[in-house]
Copies of this chain bind each other. A is one copy, B any other.
Amino acid sequence: MKLGVCYYPEHWPQDQWAQDALDMVDIGISKVRIAEFAWSRIEPRSGEFDWAWLDKAVETLANAGLEITMCTPTATPPKWLIDQYPDIRAWDESGHPRTFGSRRHYCFSSKTYRKESQRISQAIVERYSANPAVTSWQTDNEYGCHNTVRSYSPNARQAFRIWLAHKYKTTDALNTAWGTVFWSQEYTEFDQVDLPNLTVTEPNPAHVLDFYRFSSDQVIAFNREQVDIIRNYSKADITHNVMGHFTRFNHYDLGKDIDITTWDSYPLGFLDQGWWTEAQKQRWMRAGHPDFAAFHHALYRACSGGPRKGRWGVMEQQPGPVNWAPNNPVPRDGMVALWTLEACAMGAEYVSYFRWRQAPFAQEQNHAGLRDHRNITARAEIEAKGLGNFLGALGKQDAAYNKIALIFDYETAWMFNIQPQSAHWNYEALCFDFYTALRRMGLGVDIISPQHDLTGYTVVIIPSLPIIPNDLLERAKAANAHIMFGPRSGSKTSDYHVPQTDPIPGINIIRSESVRASHVFDIEMDEQYYRGHIWRDYIQTDLTDADLTVANLKVEAECDDGTPAFVTSKDYSYLAVVPDMKFLRAVLSYVLDTHDIETTWLAKDVRVERTQTHGFAFNYGSKPVTLRNNFATGKFIQGRRTLPPAGVCVWEL
C-alpha cells in the first residue's frame, strides 16, 4: 500500500515546492494529488490560460519521483464564469439561487456548466495526459458535498421533465406509477410536472423518489462526461473522492465509471456530528467510532469492481483536528497510524493525507495537515513517516474473501428519507449497527448492493430493503446463501407502492407500527429476554397450509403479546423489530451458528481485520486491551497481544 498526500502548490511560493517534494519523499509518500480547486489560477480570465505555474509544479513533483493525481477543477468555477453565466448556479429547496463565495456553486443540470466542465477538463487533459508523472486523474471533488446533489433550479426542472418523459413515455404511465389519482395530482403533459419543493404539505413520494433518482443520475452523467474526455487521451487510472455517511447519489453507479473509488476519511468529525449517543461520542472522541472507517472501506471496496476485486483507496485521511465539526478534538497519539493500517488491512491501494501543510488563510485554516501552517512537523507526519518501512516489509495485502455480505442500498436511504413513518427510524444507523455487531463477532464483512453477485457468501444480511429485486431470492438460493432480512424489507415496489403480494413468501406483514423512542418491545427468544424498539412489523401467524408449505417458517423469537419478532426458514429469516445490540447479537448468532460460522465476541474498543495472509487487531480505546490467548495464534510481525491505546498488532495467518 502506498502513502499519498494532497498538495496545493498554488497556495505556496514556488521556491518552497522543491523542498516540499523532497520532504514528502523523505517520509515515504509516493503519490500527490493536485489542482482540484485551481481553476482561477489555470484560467484567470475567460479563455486566458496560465499553465506555467502548473507545469512547474508538475515538473517539480515529478522530479522528486512523485506520482501525480491530476484533478479536473470543476468543483470551484471562478467568479468570472458565474458572472458570465448565472444559470450555472444551483437553487436550494426554498427556491433561492446558491451563490458564489465558497465551492460547489453549480447545478448538475445546467447545460452551460456541462459545456464548461467539458471545456476545462479537455484543456487540462490535453496538457497533462502525456506526462508520465500523471499516473491518475480525479474528477471534480466530493460530488454532493454541502447538499449539492439536488438542485431546484429551472434547469433542473427542465432536465427532470425530459428524464421523466424518457422513463415513462406517456403521462398515463407516470400517473399510474405515482398514483396521481390521489389528491387530483394527475398530469396530462410532462411539462406540467414541477420539482417537489415548496408544496403545501408532503409531495407524492413517488414524485420525490424519481426526483432523487434523477438527481443521482445527473451526478453520474456529469462525471461520465469528464471520464470520457480523460479516456480519450489517457490510460491512467481515474478516480473520484467520495465522502463518508453520504447517500444522496448512488455510489455503486459512480464506481462503475471510474477505475478506483477513493474516499475521504474523517473519523473524529463524523463521530461528533453523527447520530451516536453522548457516551459513545465521549468514549471515542479521540479515535472515531471503531467501525466508521471500516464500514466505508468495505462499502467503497465494492464500487469499482465488486467487493472481491474492487479497487479502492483513501484520498483524504484526517491527520489531526479538522475545522468543520461542531467540536474538533486532537486525535489520540497513534490514531493516524492506526487508521492508515486499518485501510491496509482491508486492501486499500493507498492512503493519502489531507493535507500536506495547514493553510494559513481562508475557510479551512483550522484544518490540520502533516505540517502546520509554519511548515513545522505535526504529529501526523511523525506517524506517517513511522509507517513507511513497515508497509514495505508487509508487502501487498489482498482483501480476504468474506463469507458474509451486508446489503447497503442508496435507493433505500432515499425512500426512508421520503416517508420515514417514524421519528426515530434511521436506515444508516440500522446498517451500521448490524455491521458493528458482525465486526464485534470478529468477522470480516463485505458491503454490497442488492444487484451484486451473491456467489461465495454463506449469509447475506439485509438490514432493510423496501424494494426487493425480483431475482434476489433466486440468486441467493443459487449461491446457497441464507438471507437475513430486517424490518420493512419488501414493504414497497419500485414505483413506491405498497406491494399487492408478499415479496418474501410466507412473510405476510398485516400491519406495521412505529413507537416513541422510550417504548420497548419485550422479546423472548430461547428463554432469554431482549428488547426491540422504534418499529414493528406484525407478521401474520394464522398462515394457511399453503403458506406454511411454501415458507416452512418458524417463529424463533416473539414479543410479549405473542407477535413474532424473528422468524426463520432454511433460505431466509426475518427480523420484525429494530433490535437493541443485545438482541441483534442474539439473532445474528442464531443465524451464524446455524450456518457454522464461528464468532469471537471482541472487547468494545477492539476490532480485527484479516487479509489473505495476515491478521490485524486495532485498539480504538483509551486503555490497553489484551487479546485472548486462543486468538491471533500466528507470529506477530508488529505489536503484541496487548494493545496499548491506539495500538495495532499484526500477525501471520
Contact = CB atoms under 8 A, between A and B. Distances in A.
A10 B180 CA distance: 11
A372 B327 contact: no
A427 to B, nearest CB: 16
A613 B432 CA distance: 60
B179 A105 contact: no
Interface in A1-22: 8, 10-11
Interface stretch (A55-63, A159-167, A214-222, A360-368): A360-368
Nearest to A321: B513
A178 B101 CA distance: 12
Given A41-B181, A360-B500, A422 B99 contact: no
Contacts of A470: none
A105 B202 CA distance: 12
Contacts of A596: none
B498 A182 contact: no
Q: Could you say how many copies of this chain the assembly holds?
A: 3
B199 A100 contact: yes
A516 B327 CA distance: 6
B192 A79 contact: yes
A498 B358 contact: yes
Interface residues of A, number: 109
A421 B204 contact: no
Interface stretch (A130-138, A278-286, A579-587, A628-636): A278-286
B179 A362 contact: yes
The interface centre, meaning the residue of A11, A39, A45, A363 with most chain B CB atoms within 10 A of its CB, is A363
A514 B328 contact: yes
B419 A187 contact: no
Interface string A350-382: 000000001111111110100011101011000
A495 B90 CA distance: 30
Interface string A489-532: 00000011111110000000011111110110000000000000
A497 B361 contact: yes
A327 B101 contact: no
Interface stretch (A70-78, A224-232, A438-446): A70-78
Nearest to A75: B183
Contacts of A330: 511, 513, 538
B184 A73 contact: yes
A498 B365 contact: yes
Given A184-B37, A363-B182, A511-B320, A199 B83 contact: no
Nearest to A359: B182
A86 to B, nearest CB: 11
Nearest to A278: B518
A407 interface: no
A278 B517 CA distance: 10
Contact of A372 (B99, B358, B511): B511
A489 to B, nearest CB: 16
Nearest to A272: B516
A556 interface: no
Contact of A184 (B77, B97, B364): B77
A96 B95 contact: yes
Nearest to A374: B500
Interface string A400-434: 00000000000000000001011110000000000
13 contacts: A44-B188, A99-B194, A99-B198, A146-B201, A182-B364, A205-B362, A282-B518, A285-B515, A365-B496, A366-B512, A368-B511, A372-B511, A379-B511
6 A-B pairs with least C-beta separation: A179-B361, A182-B362, A40-B184, A326-B423, A101-B199, A76-B184
